């Protein structure tokens, strides 16, 4: 199937992206984030950092319908595809937004692949404003779809889901659990009996992470045991594309912030942007960011219009994005000099977010290994 022109960015999607960017420009979420970090600057000592997000901003986003962009119309949503969700994800990264929207978008595309009554019910709950995330990894951190350490038996879950992103922000979780018949996917609410959340200490200031410990927690079936792995594999291209879009948006901010700083920082009576040792790394960021953005848009378009090529395109996009996250973070921090390492500069917030994003759903090396399997 041929893909449409402009990667499927029609007038409605372009307007969606522009409106969301304008909304975040007015909110300036990083200014709200900063006060929440006081006393938790060192993630490995002192108080445990709470999973902060601006609840008022989240409620406004719900009222404006952005949470339901990827929810099908039959379940009360807007019914748009991955191209539209990618447009939102790029702006989330550009503004380093602490939000449950990222994980909820990921959950939507997984639920859409399951095509079950339970999945449709959870999509309807998302349409009403409830947030959902993924609890699909075992302790070894394997990215394979059978890596879960949770067991399902007689409608209950026992075990631990590891590395759950933004766990403190979410109302519900999609849990991968094993049984005699294979992997199934189940819905568990954050505040129900038998669920204990144990926060991790991570350097990313815009996200939180946790383990979910299940001790006989009641679970609602989203897909029967044996059908979980196919659902996760079908949704993986969307998950990769969304995080790659987040990286591309953040890299664009790093590029612009560094270029602006190079115009005002003086050395030897000249702006540092005059010197080739500064010019060239900035151009490198620009070239790498543009390449990543093109691959991200192509991957989103393939998922919506050419599903046979979606896996290849998504691995390409995340491979490029992971490399971009590393390059843009290293160069932008270095070119900010000493100020780049301090709490006075926002550059360190993006650096930490990007390095976390680089490894989410697999770094560049892992993506290229998967690409080799597809050739």
Task: Give one DSSP letter per residue of 259-324, joined into a string.
Answer: HHHHHH-EETTEEGGGSHHHHHHHHHHHHHHHHHHHHHHHHHHHHHH-GGGHHHHHHHHHHHHHHH
pLDDT of 229: 93
Torsion of CA 328, 318, 62, 301, to 10 degrees: 120
Instruction: Say whether pLDDT at 30 is over 70.
Output: yes
What gap in Å lies between CA 276 and CA 22, rounded to an integer? 34
Instruction: Say whether pLDDT at 315 is over 70.
Output: yes
Lowest mean per-residue pLDDT among 39-48, 82-91, 142-151, 176-185: 39-48
Instruction: Say whether pLDDT at 190 is over 90.
Output: yes
If one compares 180 and 93, the residue with the highest pLDDT of the two is 93
Mean pLDDT of 97-111: 97
Cα end-to-end distance, the chain, whole Å? 20
Instruction: Say whether pLDDT at 273 is over 70.
Output: no
Hey, where are the domains in the chain? 5-130, 134-225, 229-374
Residue among 101, 84, 131, 80 at smallest CA distance from 27 = 101
Which CATH fold would you assign to the domain 5-130? Butyryl-Coa Dehydrogenase, subunit A; domain 1 (1.10.540)
If one compares 12 and 265, the residue with the highest pLDDT of the two is 12
What gap in Å lies between CA 284 and CA 294, rounded to an integer? 16
pLDDT of 266: 65
CB 339 within 8 A of CB 273: no
pTM (2 decimals)? 0.95
Averaged pLDDT score across all residues of the chain: 92
Which CATH fold would you assign to the domain 229-374? Butyryl-CoA Dehydrogenase, subunit A; domain 3 (1.20.140)
Structure tokens at 21: 């960017």
What gap in Å lies between CA 82 and CA 68, rounded to an integer? 12
Instruction: Say whether pLDDT at 45 is over 80.
Output: no
Mean pLDDT of 327-333: 93
Query: What is the per-residue DSSP string for 12-67?
Result: HHHHHHHHHHHHHHHH-HHHHHHHHTTT-SSTTSSSPPP----HHHHHHHHHTTGG
Lowest mean per-residue pLDDT among 80-94, 200-214, 329-343: 329-343
Structure tokens at 32: 């709200």
Sorting pLDDT into bands at 50, 70 and 90, what band is 1?
Answer: low
Class of domain 134-225: mainly beta
pLDDT of 186: 97
């Amino acid at each position: 199937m041929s893909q449409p022109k402009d990667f499927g960015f029609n007038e409605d999607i372009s307007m969606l992206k522009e409106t969301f960017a304008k909304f975040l420009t007015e909110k300036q979420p990083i200014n709200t984030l900063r006060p929440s970090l006081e006393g938790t600057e060192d993630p490995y000592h002192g108080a445990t950092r709470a999973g902060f997000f601006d609840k008022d901003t989240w409620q406004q986003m719900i009222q404006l319908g952005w949470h339901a962009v990827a929810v099908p119309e039959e379940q009360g949503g807007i019914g748009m595809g991955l191209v539209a969700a990618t447009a939102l994800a790029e702006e989330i990264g550009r503004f380093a937004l602490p939000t449950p929207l990222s994980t909820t978008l990921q959950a939507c595309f997984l639920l859409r692949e399951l095509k079950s009554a339970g999945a449709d019910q959870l999509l309807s709950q998302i349409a009403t404003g409830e947030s959902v995330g993924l609890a699909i990894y075992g302790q070894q951190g394997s990215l394979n779809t059978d890596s879960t350490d949770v067991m399902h038996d007689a409608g209950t879950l026992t075990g631990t889901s590891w590395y759950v992103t933004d766990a403190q922000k979410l109302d519900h979780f999609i849990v991968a659990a094993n049984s005699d018949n294979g992997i199934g996917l189940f819905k568990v609410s954050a505040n129900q009996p038998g669920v204990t959340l144990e926060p991790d200490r991570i350097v990313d200031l815009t996200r939180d992470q946790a383990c979910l410990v299940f001790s006989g927690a009641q679970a609602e079936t989203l897909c029967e045991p044996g059908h979980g792995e196919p659902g996760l594999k079908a949704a993986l291209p969307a998950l990769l594309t969304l995080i790659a879009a987040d990286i591309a948006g953040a890299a664009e901010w790093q590029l612009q912030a560094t270029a602006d700083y190079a115009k005002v920082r003086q050395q030897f009576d000249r702006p540092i942007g005059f010197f080739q040792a500064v010019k060239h790394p900035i151009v490198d960021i620009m070239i790498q960011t543009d390449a990543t953005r093109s691959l991200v848009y192509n991957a989103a378009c393939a998922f919506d219009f050419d599903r046979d090529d979606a896996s290849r395109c998504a691995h390409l996009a995340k491979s490029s994005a992971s490399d971009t996250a590393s390059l843009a973070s290293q160069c932008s921090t270095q070119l900010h000099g000493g100020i780049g390492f301090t709490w006075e500069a926002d550059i360190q917030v993006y650096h930490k977010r990007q390095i976390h994003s680089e490894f989410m759903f697999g770094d560049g090396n892992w993506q290229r290994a998967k690409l080799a399997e597809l050739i």
